[in-house]
Amino acid sequence: MTTLATSTGARYARILGTGSYRGSRVVTNEQMCTMIDSTPEWIEQRTGIKERHWATEDETPLSMSAAACRSAMDMAGVEPGRIGAIIVASVSHHRPSPALADYLARELGCPDPAAFDISAACAGFCYSVALAESLIRAGHAGDDGLVLIVGVEKLSEMINIADRGTAFIFGDGAGAAVIGPSRTPGISPTVWGSKPENVETIQIENWLAGASNDTGYPFITMDGRTVFKWALAEVTGHAARAIELAGIRPEELDIFLPHQANDRITDALVRHLHLPENVAVGRDIAEMGNASASSIPIALDRMIREGRATSGQTALIIGYGAGLTYAGQIVVIP
Ligand code: UT7
């Protein structure tokens, strides 16, 4: 019988560098409330959001992700020519084909990477961490075993300003990470999955429907209350399971960085996990809004650059959103 060769890669993987880019137009709650029937206090009390970053017309998913990726490669000390694979997590790329990852490869000067996009909404970055880690350990990430992952969103184009229940939430930006081989474990087993019965809870309309909107773009629709309840009832358990699978206790975590969807959900997760006070909790939503797939890497990059997350520390990251999808793992800070 013919025996095929199979690939094997590094024993472990870890994050080597991070980078981020925030849309440059800051929209305060006061400004938001000139567009929708709400109050700055209601928005802040219900979500923790004080302002959000929206992209300008010139800031595109490609330009924002390229900026975040350059910064991540710079921190990692990795040249574009060494990147073996690029994974983009986004719901904002407006072309079914080619993938945003292909445009990004050209923009960054990566000569021959495997390149593809994934659609896992707000869980997209953590899905990408799982994929990158698997590719590296399987030996599918090029000669140097380096994967560039980026979560990027420009959701301001897709909000329905007449829907006061969702219009104020979303923000625009990109967050990237270079993931590569490691001598020690740097990414724990991923807890991931989806809840098919709630597939319609958060949706983006199809493009034909979008064409008749004032903006020409499809709108995001969300049953926020259902998402909120699911996050409290089930995502809490998934987060606890991620800690358990990593073989550590909650008090051994240094950082907790959930998807920045709502500070009240973050508070509930912190309570459920019994995290001690010294665990630094990511609360980037106040200035950024909910930037979907980019929310975790943008917040992570900020914590690293501000010295609130330091090399060797452990962070639980967990994303959850449309699908309903979720994914979480513990990562070691580069
Ligand atoms: O990132 C993807 C995952 N998404 C999420 O995780 C979102 C999770 N959900 C949420 O964050 C919250 O559900 C929201 C912030 C979206 C909404 O907060 P809520 O406390 O769940 O509000 P609700 O939708 O249950 O509405 C409560 C009330 C309603 O009035 P009545 O029916 O009680 O009289 C709404 O009409 O608040 C009203 N309301 C508003 N009032 C002032 C809804 N939106 C607004 C608004 N300003 N912008």
The CA 169 to ligand 1 mean position distance, Å, reads: 10
pLDDT score recorded for residue 325: 98
Give catalytic status of residue 259 as yes or no: yes
Q: What is the pLDDT of residues 80-117, one digit of tens each?
A: 999 999 999 999 999 999 999 999 999 999 999 999 99
pLDDT tier at 302, thresholds 50, 70, 90: very high
Catalytic residue selected from 122, 126, 238, 262: 122
- Rounded average pLDDT over 207-230: 94
pLDDT over 70 for what percent of the chain? 100
pLDDT tier at 9, thresholds 50, 70, 90: very high
* Domain assignment of residue 28, yes or no: yes
214 and 154 fall within a common domain = no
Q: Which CATH number is 214's domain given?
A: 3.40.47.10
203: enclosing H helix or E strand? strand 202-204
pLDDT score recorded for residue 133: 98
| Final residue in a domain of this structure, among 182, 207, 222 | 182
pLDDT score recorded for residue 42: 98
- Integer Cα distance of 37 and 220 in angstroms: 18
22 and 137 fall within a common domain = yes
196 and 328 fall within a common domain = yes
- Rounded average pLDDT over 142-154: 98
Give catalytic status of residue 122 as yes or no: yes
212 and 272 fall within a common domain = yes
233 and 97 fall within a common domain = no
Higher pLDDT, 214 or 179: 179
Q: Is 50's C-beta closer than 6 angstroms to any atom of ligand 1?
A: no
Q: Is 164's C-beta closer than 6 angstroms to any atom of ligand 1?
A: yes
pLDDT score recorded for residue 111: 97
CB 85 within 8 A of CB 141: yes
**Phi, psi (5° rounding) for residue 90?**
-165, 150
pLDDT tier at 37, thresholds 50, 70, 90: very high
Q: What is the pLDDT of residues 221-264, one digit of tens each?
A: 999 999 999 999 999 999 999 999 999 999 999 999 999 999 99
pTM across the whole model: 0.97
Query: What total of structural domains would you count in the chain?
Result: 2
Q: What is the pLDDT of residues 48-63, one digit of tens each?
A: 999 999 999 999 999 9
Q: What is the pLDDT of residues 174-197, one digit of tens each?
A: 999 999 999 999 999 999 999 999
pLDDT score recorded for residue 55: 98
Range of the domain at 231: 191-332
pLDDT score recorded for residue 306: 97
* Domain assignment of residue 100, yes or no: yes
Q: Is 227's C-beta closer than 6 angstroms to any atom of ligand 1?
A: yes
* Domain assignment of residue 224, yes or no: yes
55 and 122 fall within a common domain = yes
Write b or e for each residue in 3-18: b if 16 or more Cβ atoms lie within 10 A of its Cβ, otherwise e. Answer: eeeeeebbebbbbbbb
| Final residue in a domain of this structure, among 129, 159, 182 | 182
265: enclosing H helix or E strand? helix 263-273
pLDDT tier at 154, thresholds 50, 70, 90: very high
211 and 176 fall within a common domain = no
Query: What string of DSSP letters covers 34-64?
Result: TTSS--HHHHHHHH--SEEEE--TT--HHHH
pLDDT score recorded for residue 100: 98
pLDDT score recorded for residue 323: 97
Structure tokens at 283: 């609360």
pLDDT score recorded for residue 277: 93
- Integer Cα distance of 16 and 113 in angstroms: 18
